[in-house]
Structure 1
Amino acid sequence: MQDQSDNYIRIRGARTHNLKNINVDLPHLQLTVITGVSGSGKSSLAFDTIHSEGQRRFLENLSPGTRQIFSQMQPADVDQISGLPPTISIEQTQRVHSRRSTLATMTELYDYFRLLFAQRGTVHCTQCHQPLHQQSAEQIVDLILALEDRKKVIILSPVITAKKGDHTAVLNKIAKEGFVRARVDGVVVDLSQSQDLKESDFHDIDIVIDRIIVKEGIDARLKESIDLALKHGDGVCIVSQETETCWSDRFLSTRLACGKCQLSFPDPEPRTFSFNSPYGACPNCQGLGVIEASNHEKIEQVCPECQGARINEYGRSVKLKGQSIDQLVDQTAPEILVWLNDWERSELTSHNSQDQEIVDQLLPPIRSRLKYLAEIGLNYIKLNRPAHTLSGGEHQRARLASFLGAETTGACYILDEPTAGLHANETEKLLKILKRLNQAGNTILVVEHDHDVIKASDYILDLGPQAGEQGGEVVVSGCYQDVIQNHRSFTSRALNAEYEIKSRPDTPQSGAKPELVLKGAKLNNLKNVTLKIPLQKLVCITGVSGCGKSSLVLETLVPALKAEFKSESRQDLEYDSLEGSEFLQQIKIIDQAPLGQSGRSNPATYCGIWDEIRKLFAKTKLSRMRGYTARRFSFNAKEGRCKHCHGQGYRRVDMQFLPPLYLPCEKCKTKRFNQQTLAVKYRGKSVSDILDMPVDEAVVFFDQIPKLKKVLQVLKELGLGYLALGQPANMLSGGEAQRIKLATELISNPTAMTLFVLDEPTRGLHAADIDCLLSVLDRLVQEGNSVLMIEHHPQAILAADWMIDLGPEGGESGGIILDEGTPEEISVRKTGQTGQMLNDFISNSTHR
């Protein structure tokens, strides 16, 4: 009998972070969903335990010198993991921050395109833009023999091209070499007669090598003439053939050269098209495509030399089916697939066997990656889109498409909420792709809250029951039916919940109700949209990915409103007018951008409570005795922080082919401060202990400090009770960062007449956490503020007072307002995909 341990990843005694010594068996070759409320231990198990162990095992195979660096890594706090395949982590955290990285480079498509253009591209003269063909003498002979019978042809060697002078010496030399005719400025002349050329004019001189009529039996003569023409033309000859009205020239060369412009070019190589290489990058912008903003300029300027193409003039001169590589990647995946099919049909018939072999090797991986990008919900994004402008969900799905295209097998993929940023109707496409990974012989672990993904999984592991110290346990594991029957599980409650339209009674008002009206929005794919937002309401903007939600709200409405408040005119914004700004006093943008890129920023510093905590430590008896001020307890101050890690707690090691590695500081052991500073205690806790303290514990610990308690209570209300006060900003998820920003705004007691704009605030939240968030947003509205959120989650949409649905599809097929009204009205009408989704969601929840 086969050992059953081969069928599972067996984890024994996992204690990472808040995990409570749990034992877990995860089946191989299946889709397993790890779920639970925020802070329940999902990431601690999936990424900090399973993937961490997989990474450690991989690094053990590196060279001894490299292993010595990694020996300082703290192993996952677990007794044993068996049956673990090689792990591939696909997180939402954007590890690639290079401005040179694009969607095409992330998915390796650009590397394949560089090979394709280097092998099959046609070089064009950078001056006259004529195609240049590199051919052997035999190929040139075959080309002439292929002309129609009795065609008159003149074979010439160019010796002077567009040069001033009388060129007497050149003409005499040609005559001495035994040639009797030359073509001077387009006219064939007899060299025995003197030529009176004006010295001040530009002239062209070509040696007439031979004049022939195409017919059988001229092969040997033609070959001799071509060899002679190439010899005198330095590898270039001209074949001029008679037409009905004139003679037509064709420049042919055994090297890449333009005889007309007297320019030579190197053979194209893959590096010719690389904007990361000095051989291919535009010299003016160094391959960035933009000129960085100076101190006097607020925004970047498109590079005037390459017009944003990133590569130099020669790279742009190489074309396939009329397109350069920069023009090709300025399209979406579906558009490139159409182009690729057209090119293959029109040109591959003329290729020789060697060309066909090259194409056969390059096209399949290109096609598969393009198809996966379209299937995975990124069909609306152009391939030259910079990686740093992608959302966390888009970034993750792009990496997933790359792995799918590589056709990896026998691996364990660990994904962090792959449905983030996806409309509900697009989740089915994602599930098909995950199942395809399964069928290819891979194990899939997904940290996810989405109901459809949970239902479609083969195995569910629910952690909790709550967050932080109240979490870290296996609440229930098994199939979907096992989970929904467990009444202790918050996930079970969410799956069994019946969702209804939430109606808020309308407050009677005299006169017209205030609203914000943006007219004629035309940015990106928006089609002259007029947006009407009722104020003092919770308003939801919905629609499929790429339909224009961000273009309308974040890139048009927000900057337009800010300009109104500053009484400025924004010439760069594409809209006609904005009305209703007088009903608002300010606008607050709560997005999912990181709080900061360094580890020095954290929830305590961002919310402003760290200054108060430092003051408390400065007032202690030991601090007064030693003369310590509040500055001593800042990890930015030299006198108090650890000198070895400069207050970071970790040391960054940059790896050439791997993500940066953060090793614990050998001196302070991640405590950030030196021993003298750590000796100071406030109520028995050092300053490092406070940074490690979760919000829930801090609420109780600082119960008698009103300034601190107020802030901490808001963080707790937003479902962040599990978060450590000193959690580095670069280790926070987008959803956590967004809620910390919202908490900061709530703490400042915003006056009424504030518009809060939130970008997918439910991303990364369990259904129980969404309820907490919605209650806070509801409170803002009740206080006279307005809330506008871009959202996909039906639970949040149903809580809105008003919704505006864009579509019908993404990209050029979007940019139209399909429907607007209350969630109830839209769910009944089912005009767009969101309406249909809401209707299905309500029906399914009431028939469980």
Structure 2
Amino acid sequence: MDGADGSGTGSDAGSSVPAGGFVGVRGASEHNLRSVDVDVPRDRLVVFTGVSGSGKSSLAFGTIFAEAQRRYLESVAPYARRLIDQVGAPKVGEITGLPPAVALQQRRGAGTVRSSVGTVTTISNALRMLYSRAGRYPPGTVERLDSDAFSANTPAGACPNCHGVGRVHEVSERSLVPDPSLSIRDKAIAAWPGAWLGKNYRDILAELGYDVDRPWAELDQADRDWILFTDEQPVVTVHPIRTADRIQRDYQGTYASAKRYVLHTYATTQSAPLRRRVARFLEISPCPVCRGARLRPESLAVTVAGYSITELAALPLTELAAVLQPLGSIENAPAAPRDPLSGEDSEAGVLLARQVRSRIGPLVELGLGYLSCDRSTPTLSAGELQRLRLATQLRSGLFGVLYVLDEPSAGLHPADADSLRATLNRLLEAGNSLFVIEHNLDLIRHADWLVELGPGAGEHGGEILYSGPVAGLAAVPGSVTAPYLFTPRPSDRTPRRPSDWLTLGRVTRHNLRDVSVSVPLGLLTAVTGVSGSGKSTLISQVLVEVVADRLGRASVSGSEVEEEFTDSADGSGETGLVDDAVVSVDDVTVSGVERVQRLVRVDQKPIGRTPRSNLATYTGMFDAVRAVFADTELARERGYRVGRFSFNVPGGRCETCQGEGFVTVELLFLPGTYGPCPTCRGARYNAETLEVRYRGRSIADVLAMTVEQAAEFLADVPSAARSLRTLLNVGLGYLRLGQPATELSGGEAQRIKLASELQRARRGKVLYVLDEPTTGLHPADVEVLMTQLHALVDAGSTVVLVEHDLAVIAQADWVIDLGPGGGDAGGRIVATGTPAELAASDTPTGRHLAAAPTGPLAAFAAPILK
């Protein structure tokens, strides 16, 4: 292949040919790849880059890794293959020179709060063994506890009162009856829903002889306690009051107290909205038995270096290593401890302490020393989770392996980039190959080999623009990456002036301690700082919750993909969410919030959890599309209504696949696979529905269109056209309308949410909060995104970004920098001001901003070339 035109390995690449040879790919056609041929060197750091949707993941993961996994699984017993999560055989003609591969993909924190940093890295296992075999037991202990006794996830270790959760959920009269001046008929018991359930309970109480029209505060305390807290469930025959305009028949009803209803619903319901609703009436407090430690008292009584295992797991990893250093440094440890129930100086204690510290070392090198073992994985960013998994690979000692990584720099401050490169170099020096999907220009500059795909996204991409040493990309005229990689692009934007300020005071959460911060209104503000400095806690949690609370709405939950705080349709205001782990914001002082009329949080969480959710349904444009088809002449003749054109309900959908377009194919002794539905062939609709045409196209044809194609086809459908225009404006023209939500990246999901907001009519002063919006975006896509965000500010809104990208920071009007370090070393405001003022400050962010080719002082800095 020619390094300049993408047809060969390049004449200038001869000196760079590795001793390990090349991985040769021929005829790769996965997703949008156009029968790609490319040779990529082994034993080198190879970066795959290109605009979002250009085909990078399809080549690196969908083709190269998928084929490596397929070949490995050929050696595994067929029955065992069913237990392995497989990515499927790729569409490729041939791949040669392919070593065994390990994939480290971007995945948002998954699992439950019981999954933690310690469990992902296996440090928790070593700690439990350390306490079991070498802990100091209290006097009078007869025998050592098994390692399971130090895990809150096992019956042997979990606190019996809270079952290892660490907190208890209770209700009180105050939480169930917020306004005691109301009567039961007037909905004094707010925990009861206002529909049939509350009315039935009210009528049952009336039959039992309780006065449902008397103010709650005037009822006897004994009656109030029975109504709210009784475990009895009496069954009575109810005789509702009949009115002239409504006939109500007698019925038998079973009474359940408000406490029983709330706790039972919270624990058993499968409806997320219902669970969030009843959570509002719960009071959450630390377990009185374990005091939040989650373990049995006898397990908590065992110590190492004076700490219980819960206390040790709560320390930042750097401190944990320091605490265990004296134990692991003991020389000539006796084979058996001098005190059989105090083995810190035993051989087992020394070895286990060293083992824990050896597992912590790579995590600290990757800039994760601020994390603690008990940090739950759902609270981690995708970048943090991937680096945790990368650290475990450093300890594996494998060589001759191909590691395929998905943006390892995601969520990483530039100050931590050196440690990431050092980690990648260690994997290379161990005899491995690294294929990395990456947009970070600094990491690209340090690559040994660069593969750029493009030139565009979706059907406009899927071609190899260049494959060769990094310097050769400068000679490729069609490269989208080269201008950003080699040409200084200083920010010439003049910062705006704030219209007012939103100030928070006395903020205390996680590593934030009594922090005060002022956020300018009417500007684009970047919140910066090293990983773990407290950015997301301050902005995505506290700021969002405080503003939502002061606006009279419920606090936001981290479990929702997007939360817009507007009045619900019934005026109840029950559009917000409550997470049972959220700390109260009542103590935070705030001023200036009255100048914010609406709050919109846009994150990178999925827009849907099943393939039934897609771009068209999420943005709402599909309603307009279905209405257009229902209004056609044939649809009116047949009596087809709008619902006929939904693939989620019976009627118009294909019943063989129930509107999914594919069916599961079960294979004996092999993993099940998916295939197109044999009836509708993937169209999702039955034949009669597909006969209805709008401008010669069926509704299945419309779902198969890209945004770009649909914008032209549906130009005369105003509501759909508006949605499509905003999607084009945020650079998503390559996505298909019916593309399942499960196939979208985090960056794509975030831009879809932003587009959904942009298509709405502007209503007052809006505060937009985005957490690392550039993750997964090529610098060209970042420019498109920033254009839209600046347009929001020009329209009178306020945008606050948590961000590491120096190019974005340089374009901000105002910067709030936290630090100076991560974890306990952070949590403070270390600098505020314009980008130029921050670049002049002596903080990690300021120093890197001053030296960046895209920063406000770029005129004094040359691009950093290899």
TM-score (norm 1): 0.77
- What letter matches 1:564 in structure 2? R
Q: Give the Cα–Cα distance (whole angstroms) in 2 for the partners of residues 74 and 684 of structure 1.
A: 35
**Which residue, 371, 376, 379 being the options, matches 1:386?**
376
One-letter identity of the residue aligned with 1:546 = G
Tell me, yes or no, if structure 1 residue 528 matches structure 2 residue 497: no
Change (3 A) 1:54 1:632: farther
Provide the secondary structure at the position in 2 that maps to 1:798: helix
In the alignment, which residue of structure 1 is the partner of 2:526? 540
| 1:398-797 alignment, distance < 5 Å | 398-504=388-494, 506=496, 513-566=499-552, 572-573=584-585, 576-643=588-655, 645-649=657-661, 663-664=674-675, 667=678, 670-797=682-809
Q: Which stretch shows the higher mean deviation, 775-784 or 110-119?
A: 110-119
**Partner of residue 308 from structure 1, selected from 275, 278, 292:** 292
Most deviating of 637-646 and 426-435 = 637-646
Aligned match of 1:277: 154
Cα distance in structure 1, aligned partners of 2:357 and 2:492: 46
The count of residues paired between Structure 1 and Structure 2 equals 701
Q: Bigger shift: 715-724 or 92-101?
A: 92-101
Counterpart of 1:223 in structure 2 is none
Q: Distance in 2 between matches of 1:563 and 1:774?
A: 29
2:315 matched to 1:331? yes
Task: Check the 8 A contact 1:807/1:815 in 2, yes or no.
Answer: yes
Q: Residue 430 of structure 1 aligns to a residue in which SS?
A: helix
Mark the CA change 1:96 to 1:754 in structure 2 (over 3 Å): closer, same or farther.
closer
Equivalent AA in structure 2 for residue 331 of structure 1: L
Higher mean Cα deviation, 694-703 or 634-643?
A: 634-643
Alpha-carbon spacing, 1:801–1:502, altered in 2? closer, same or farther (3 Å): farther
For 1:52, the equivalent position in structure 2 comes to 66
Give SS of 2:724's match: helix
- 1:38: which partner in 2? 52
- The one-letter amino acid paired with 1:814 is G
1:610-630 deviation line (CA, Å, top 9, x unaligned): 111222333345544544332
Letter in 1 for 2:135: G
Quote how far apart the aligned CAs of 1:506 are. 4.8
Superposed CA offset, 1:634-679 (max 9, x none) = 2321334444554444568999xx9x98734654555444455445
Measured on the aligned residues, the alpha-carbon RMSD in Å equals 3.1
Change (3 A) 1:340 1:692: farther
Q: Deviation at 1:695?
A: 1.6
**Percent identical:** 40
Q: Is the 8 A contact 2:66 2:87 kept in 1?
A: no
Partner Cα separation in structure 2 for residue 748 and residue 711 of structure 1: 9
Query: How far does the alpha carbon of each residue in 1:814-842 deviate from its partner, in whole angstroms, 9 at most, with x for none?
Result: 12222111111221x23211111111003
CA contact (8 A) 2:489 2:858 kept: no
Task: Give, as a single letter, the amino acid of the residue that structure 2 aligns with 1:545.
Answer: S
Alignment partners' CA distance in 2, 1:549 and 1:789? 10
Distance 1:562 1:722 in 2: 35
- Give the Cα–Cα distance (whole angstroms) in 2 for the partners of residues 72 and 378 of structure 1: 30
1:690: how far off?
3.0
Instruction: Give the drift of 1:555.
Output: 2.0
Give the aligned residue type for 2:851: D
Distance, in Å, in 2 between the alignment partners of 1:681 and 1:283 is: 63
Displacement, 1:526? 2.0
Q: Please list the CA deviations of residues 415-462 of structure 1 after superposition, one character each: whole Å capped at 9, or x if unmatched.
A: 111111111111111111011111112111111110111011111000
Distance 1:785 1:516 in 2: 13
Q: By how many angstroms is 1:708 displaced?
A: 1.1
Worse-matched range after superposition: 46-55 or 725-734: 725-734
More strand by share: 1
- Does the 8 Å contact 2:659/2:685 carry over to 1? yes
Q: Give the 3 Å change call, closer, same or farther, for CA 487–372 of structure 1 in structure 2.
A: same
Partner of 1:163: none
Shift of 1:795: 1.0
- Give the alignment's TM-score, normalised by structure 2: 0.75
User: Residues 316 and 373 of structure 2 are in contact (CA less than 8 Å); yes or no, is this contact kept in structure 1?
Assistant: yes
AA at the equivalent of 2:398: T
Q: Which has the larger radius of gyration?
A: 1
Partner Cα separation in structure 1 for residue 287 and residue 741 of structure 2:
33
Alignment of 1:781-820 (within 5 A): 781-820=793-832
Change (3 A) 1:514 1:766: same
Q: 2: distance between equivalents of 1:392 and 1:384?
A: 17
Query: Is 1:111 matched with 2:116?
Result: no
Distance change (3 Å), C-alpha of 1:707 and 1:654 = same
- Tell me, yes or no, if the aligned pair for 2:20 and 2:41 is still in contact at 8 Å: no
Once the 2 structures are TM-superposed, how far is the Cα of residue 750 of structure 1 from its aligned partner? 2.4
Distance in structure 1 (CA, Å) of the matches to 2:85 and 2:362: 38
Deviates most, 381-390 or 397-406? 397-406
Q: Is the 8 A contact 2:428 2:434 kept in 1?
A: yes
Sort the Cα spacing of 1:73 and 1:407 in 2 relative to 1 into closer, same or farther, 3 A. closer
Task: Tell me the equivalent position of 1:297.
Answer: 279
Separation in structure 1 between the aligned mates of residue 666 and residue 119 of structure 2, nearest angstrom: 20
Is contact 2:106-2:382 (8 Å) kept? yes
More divergent stretch after superposition (108-117 vs 617-626): 617-626
- Counterpart-to-counterpart distance in 2, 1:450 and 1:708: 35
48-57 or 331-340: bigger deviation: 48-57
- Are the equivalent residues in 2 in contact too, given 1:93–1:733 (CA < 8 A)? no
**Aligned with 1:320: secondary structure?**
coil
User: Matched residues in 2 for 1:50 and 1:751: separation?
Assistant: 48
Match of 2:862 in 1: 847
Deviations 1:229-287 (A, max 9, x none): xxxxxxxxxxxxxxxxxxxxxxxxxx52xxxxxxxxxx522333333333333333433
1:73–1:664 contact (8 Å) kept in structure 2: no
Preserved CA contact (<8 Å) 2:767 2:797: yes
**CA distance, structure 1, for counterparts of residue 28 and residue 303 of structure 2:** 56
1:772-806 per-residue CA deviation (whole Å, 9 max, x = no partner) reads 11111111111111111111111111111111111
Alignment partners' CA distance in 1, 2:411 and 2:162: 33
Say if 1:123 and 1:390 are closer, same or farther in 2 by CA, change over 3 A. same
Alignment counterpart, residue 842 of structure 2, candidates 803, 828, 831: 831
Contact 1:348–1:356 at 8 Å: present in 2 too? no
Alpha-carbon distance in structure 2 between the residues aligned to 1:568 and 1:26:
52
Conserved? CA contact 2:528–2:818, under 8 Å:
yes
Structure 1 gaps, min length 5: 125-129, 133-254, 257-266
Give the aligned residue type for 2:621. Answer: I
Where does structure 2 lack aligned partners over 5 or more consecutive residues? 1-16, 170-262, 267-274, 338-342, 556-581
2-structure distance, mates of 1:488, 1:21: 19
Q: Partners in 2 of 1:449 and 1:651 — Cα distance? A: 36
Given residue 120 of structure 2, which amino acid in structure 1 is its aligned partner? M
2:520 is aligned with what amino acid? P
